[in-house]
């Protein structure tokens, strides 16, 4: 390699210089220290990620009314949303906060009369949004009234969108069509698949 200096062009043998560095104990020691530091940081981040995933699962198992006291309620019910990636996606939900029913909504949320299954129940009352078969299966999961594993689902992928991941640990969620859908879309519904297949494995062990 040729480079310019104050005394003109000079030739530098990069390979030779690199070989010398690789024989230098101090250089090797520093490189090893940097590698150890990067490895330790990666392990720390992985550990933190696993903790966050476990926390999400724990929170997912809790009822909404039990989560509300764990956060700043004034901030929660301020109902202001700003997307940190797209500044234009901001909504202060003025129409909700100015409604005379807003205090009632807060009361219903705090006391569990409106909970995390609200969207599913609302879907149930809109006939065009899903078939009767699928609505009945959803309700069987919500009310813990089991249907046969062979019960036919018309749109199992839609069911995957609506059912909370933790609900896949219920025996009521065990359904052939739903399992087939999970196997097909396991990359998208990894958490749901993990929970359901663990439940299946536990059932096999119990019956063996």
pLDDT of the chain along its 208 residues, tens only? 444 445 555 555 667 767 777 777 787 778 777 777 777 777 888 888 888 877 777 676 677 777 777 777 777 777 776 766 666 667 777 787 778 878 887 888 787 777 766 666 666 555 566 788 888 888 888 778 889 999 999 999 988 888 888 788 888 899 999 999 998 988 888 888 888 888 888 777 776 6
Largest CA distance in the chain: 88
Instruction: Please tell me the predicted confidence (pLDDT) of residue 127.
Output: 55
Instruction: Kindly list the domain boundaries of the chain, sorted by start residue.
Output: 2-61, 63-116, 133-208
Confidence (pLDDT) at 121: 62
Alpha helices in the chain (DSSP H): 14-22, 25-61, 64-67, 73-76, 94-97, 102-110, 118-124, 132-142, 156-162, 176-184, 190-207
Cα three-residue angle 47-51-55, rounded to 5 degrees: 170
pTM above 0.85, yes or no: no
Q: Quick one: tokens of 185?
A: 């879309």
Q: What is the rounded CA–CA span in Å between residue 60 and residue 22?
A: 52
Tell me if residue 176 falls in helix, strand or coil: helix
DSSP 91-127: E--HHHHTSTTHHHHHHHHHTTSS-TTHHHHHHHT-G
């Amino acid at each position: 390699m040729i480079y310019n200096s104050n005394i003109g062009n000079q030739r530098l043998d990069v390979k030779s210089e690199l070989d010398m560095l690789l024989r230098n104990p101090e250089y090797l020691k520093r490189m090893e220290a940097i590698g150890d530091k990067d490895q330790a940081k990666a392990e720390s981040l992985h550990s933190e990620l696993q903790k966050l995933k476990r926390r999400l699962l724990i929170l997912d198992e809790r009822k909404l009314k039990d989560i509300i006291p764990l956060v700043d309620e004034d901030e929660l019910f301020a109902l202001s949303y700003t997307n940190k990636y797209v500044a234009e996606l901001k909504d202060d939900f003025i129409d909700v906060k100015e409604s005379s029913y807003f205090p009632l909504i807060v009361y219903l949320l705090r006391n569990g009369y409106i909970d995390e299954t609200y969207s599913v129940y609302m879907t149930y009352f809109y006939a065009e949004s899903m078939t009767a078969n699928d609505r009945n299966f959803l309700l069987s999961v919500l009310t813990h009234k089991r249907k046969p594993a062979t019960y036919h689902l018309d749109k199992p992928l839609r069911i995957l969108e609506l059912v909370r991941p933790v609900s896949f640990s219920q025996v009521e969620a065990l359904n052939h069509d739903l399992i087939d859908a999970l196997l097909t879309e396991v990359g998208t519904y990894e958490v749901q698949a993990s929970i359901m297949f663990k439940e299946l494995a536990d059932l096999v062990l119990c019956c063996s």
